[in-house]
């Protein structure tokens, strides 16, 4: 081929390449809403993200870590971070917090203090929020606005607006509220938390202890932290100072993008804060805006970690996947042929690296859709197909919430991370995450942070095991409890209506 023909071919290919790129841009623009619709689920006729993002060319550019960078960033972002003031109605029990009936002699206590009934009173709370759209939508934590009678949003210029709750999701501690402002609103773009790296510099802005517009800086200490806050724990750990009042405020990268929502701190350490990854929030914000709640897929199994010891016992090559410890009768997994002892290693072609991954992966599947699972059973690989159900509140804890409610306490399985935090040698039992005032559990002396190891001298390591053991008990139930490095027994009376 001579040079003229070669030049002609090269030029023609170049023209075709330009035309192809133009066509691709047109196609991408035309199908982008459809792709977003498919990704976020059919929550409305046209479910499209309503927040802003930075152009990829801007968000991927390296940023110099200088004092000038930080000051300019803070100056630009502060107007999009709000203070949230709430008024809540709460119930107070008859006895002061921390006091219990001595030696079980309730009559003795009543003779001196009377039969005090629970009373209601109003309590004020503070938090932070992030303006994500010019229409007035604000992202914050669910625990900031939960059970709030009144919500007031205070802008950067100190102007106040009443806010209404659009949607909440207690499982991820995310809430969406809205104000009707009579002025232009600053917004902050949402980034991609999957791109965060350990050691990356971050900034937190919020309202700690009522000190509005407080800025702190630090780094990403770790990712994927499980702290026992809920079934979808995947927290970003940071040493940027986070305090009460920071909840709901942004954790930002140096591009000025929200990469996390500041949510929790470690009560036993300093410089240990946790933020919900913004990608987890983005998965549900459209649903919160359109329907006020989140619809999730449900498989109907209890799972646990595949430890190296368990992997060896089950003749597994690697300690990966999620081990099924219990199956809800007539649930999607039961109908699909799953068995206790199966290890789920793949879902719809995606590897299940850790048992914490599975609840999140299943939750993202639209109820009614068919999902393909690869499981290991007796060392052999088996493929199963299940029609994903819709998670109801009671199904999220495998139908055990009724017993917990009757006893007046909330429970969750002890993960390795929780065990380490509580100083336990291994992860066993079920942890008490909350105790209701004047309940059977409270009167028996059970406290938040306790771990119930046994029920009537039988070990319990799952909510289902706890539920079944309590259901079999008659008259009273005996708990073996772990607290602050010591174990002891607590007896709890079960009345006829329980």
Q: Which of 247, 302, 440, 442 is catalytic?
A: 247
Helix (H, G, I), strand (E, B) or coil at 177: strand
Tell me the C-alpha distance between 207 and 197, whole Å. 26
Q: Which of 169, 173, 192, 342 is catalytic?
A: 173
Q: Which of 128, 143, 169, 467 is catalytic?
A: 143
Does residue 398 contact residue 326 with C-beta atoms inside 8 Å? yes
CA angle 181, 157, 141 (to 5 degrees): 65
Helix (H, G, I), strand (E, B) or coil at 342: coil
- Tell the residue number behind the tokens 């209701």, with chain if given: 436
Helix (H, G, I), strand (E, B) or coil at 489: strand
Respond yes or no: is residue 173 known to be catalytic.
yes
Cα 291 to Cα 122, 280, 389, distances in angstroms = 29, 18, 19
Tell me the C-alpha distance between 122 and 137, whole Å. 26
Tell me the C-alpha distance between 339 and 441, whole Å. 34
Does residue 233 contact residue 227 with C-beta atoms inside 8 Å? yes
Tell me the C-alpha distance between 164 and 157, whole Å. 20
Respond yes or no: is residue 476 known to be catalytic.
no
User: Which residues touch 129 (CB under 8 Å, ≥6 apart)?
Assistant: 81, 82, 83, 84, 138, 139, 140, 144, 153, 177, 248, 249
Cα 305 to Cα 302, 355, 412, distances in angstroms = 11, 5, 14
How far, in whole angstroms, is CA 469 from its chain's centroid? 29
Respond yes or no: is residue 357 known to be catalytic.
no
Residues belonging to the active site: 143, 173, 247
């Amino acid at each position: 081929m001579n040079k003229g023909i070669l030049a002609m071919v090269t030029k023609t290919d170049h023209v075709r390449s330009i035309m192809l790129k133009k066509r691709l841009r047109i196609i991408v623009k035309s199908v982008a809403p459809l792709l977003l619709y498919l990704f976020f689920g059919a929550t409305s006729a046209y479910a499209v993200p309503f927040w802003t993002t930075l152009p990829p060319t801007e968000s991927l550019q390296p940023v110099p870590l200088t004092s000038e960078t930080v000051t300019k960033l803070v100056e630009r972002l502060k107007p999009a971070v709000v203070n949230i003031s709430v008024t809540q109605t709460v119930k107070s029990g008859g006895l002061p917090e921390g006091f219990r009936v001595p030696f079980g002699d309730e009559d003795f206590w009543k003779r001196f203090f009377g039969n005090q009934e629970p009373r209601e009173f109003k309590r004020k709370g503070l938090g932070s929020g992030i303006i994500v759209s010019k229409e007035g939508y604000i992202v914050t934590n669910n625990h900031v606005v939960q059970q709030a009678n009144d919500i007031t949003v205070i802008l950067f210029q100190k102007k106040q607006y009443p806010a209404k709750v659009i949607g909440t999701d207690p499982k991820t501690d995310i809430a969406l509220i809205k104000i009707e402002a009579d002025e232009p609103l600053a917004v902050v773009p949402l980034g991609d938390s999957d791109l965060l790296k350990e050691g990356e510099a971050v900034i937190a802005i919020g309202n700690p202890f009522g000190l509005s517009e407080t800025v702190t800086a630090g780094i990403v200490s770790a990712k994927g932290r499980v702290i026992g806050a809920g079934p979808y724990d995947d927290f970003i750990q940071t040493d940027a100072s986070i305090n009460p009042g920071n909840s709901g405020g942004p954790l930002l990268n140096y591009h000025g993008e929200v990469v996390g929502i500041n949510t929790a701190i470690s009560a036993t350490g300093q410089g240990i804060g946790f933020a919900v990854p913004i990608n987890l929030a983005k998965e549900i914000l459209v649903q919160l805006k359109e329907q006020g709640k989140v619809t999730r897929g449900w498989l109907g199994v209890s799972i646990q970690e595949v430890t190296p010891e368990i992997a060896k016992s089950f003749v597994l090559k690697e300690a990966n996947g999620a081990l099924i410890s219990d199956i809800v009768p007539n649930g999607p997994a039961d109908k699909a042929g799953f068995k206790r002892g199966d290890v789920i290693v793949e879902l719809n072609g995606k590897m299940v690296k850790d048992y914490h991954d599975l609840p999140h992966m299943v939750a993202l599947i639209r109820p009614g859709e068919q999902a393909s699972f690869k499981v290991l059973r007796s060392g052999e690989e088996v493929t199963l197909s299940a029609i994903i159900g819709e998670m109801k509140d009671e199904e999220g804890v495998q139908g055990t919430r009724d017993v917990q409610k009757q006893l007046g306490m909330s429970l969750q399985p002890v993960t390795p991370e929780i065990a380490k935090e509580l100083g336990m040698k291994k992860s066993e039992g079920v942890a008490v995450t909350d105790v209701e005032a004047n309940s059977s559990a409270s009167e028996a002396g059970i406290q938040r942070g306790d771990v119930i190891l046994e029920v009537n001298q039988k070990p319990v390591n799952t909510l289902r095991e706890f539920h079944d053991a309590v259901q079999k008990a008659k008259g009273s139930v005996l708990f073996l409890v772990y607290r602050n490095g010591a174990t002891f027994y607590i007896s709890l009376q079960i009345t006829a209506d329980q």
